[in-house]
Amino acid sequence: MIRDLYRILFNMLPQIVPDIYQADELEMKRIRSKIETLIDYHKLKEIFLLYDEELDGKIDGTQIGDVVRAAGLKPTNAMVVKASGSEYKRKGEKRLTFEEWMPIYEQLSKEKEQGTFQDFVEGLKVFDKEESGKIMAAELRHVLMALGERLSAEEADEIMKGTEDAEGMVNYEAFVKKVLAGPFPDE
């Protein structure tokens, strides 16, 4: 794929700048910027096509958030719904082309990043009454199921698997690192 990308870029160079050998530093920066934009575009298209299960150049509407997250963004489900204009709950309800998905990605890429490591740690610190760096596993499970984008009991159990110590406590910094690192269970 990368070899193909370089071949494409090489063939496009005459269109980008007619005489590359006479380009000054400013022009070279402009050329590099165009090339980087083309590479980013092709990377996004490659990620998009990984989710094209029917091999028709489209993804299912239920996968919009998955594809955006695979491309490196971390929007909430609510942000994805807002950017796409609809919430697709049933598979097959709507299929999107890359050209239809791209504006959604672009809009979400402009949003403030959601949920940094420090944001989550500060949020969980509220439950650390003894300031020990740990909170009760039962309390964390309740928070995951009751606040924000609520998880089901199964999802909470999956995400908390292996985090509880013998006293029923969870080191919340380690928990947040684990969650942010993934892998993420299917939505």
CB 84 within 8 A of CB 104: yes
| Cα gap 35→108, rounded to integer Å | 23
Domain boundaries defined on the chain: 1-50, 55-113, 117-181
Q: What is the pLDDT of residues 123-155, one digit of tens each?
A: 889 899 899 999 999 999 998 988 877 889 998
Domain spanning 55-113, CATH class: mainly alpha
pLDDT score, position 122 = 86
For 117-181, CATH number out of 1.10.238.10, 3.65.10.10, 3.40.50.970, 3.30.379.10 equals 1.10.238.10
Q: What is the pLDDT of residues 51-110, one digit of tens each?
A: 999 999 999 999 999 999 898 888 888 889 999 988 888 998 999 999 999 999 999 988
In percent, how much of the chain has pLDDT > 90?
Answer: 43
pLDDT score, position 185 = 46
Q: What is the pLDDT of residues 2-42, one digit of tens each?
A: 566 666 666 665 555 555 556 677 776 777 777 777 778 88
Total residues belonging to the chain? 187
Q: Give the CA radius of gyration of the chain.
A: 22
pLDDT score, position 34 = 79
Judge whether 55-113 and 117-181 match in fold.
yes
pLDDT score, position 7 = 64
* Phi (first) and psi of residue 73, to 5 degrees: -90, 160
Q: What is the pTM of this model?
A: 0.56
Distances in Å between the Cα of 121 and the Cα atoms of 77, 92, 125, 126, 180 are 21, 38, 6, 9, 12
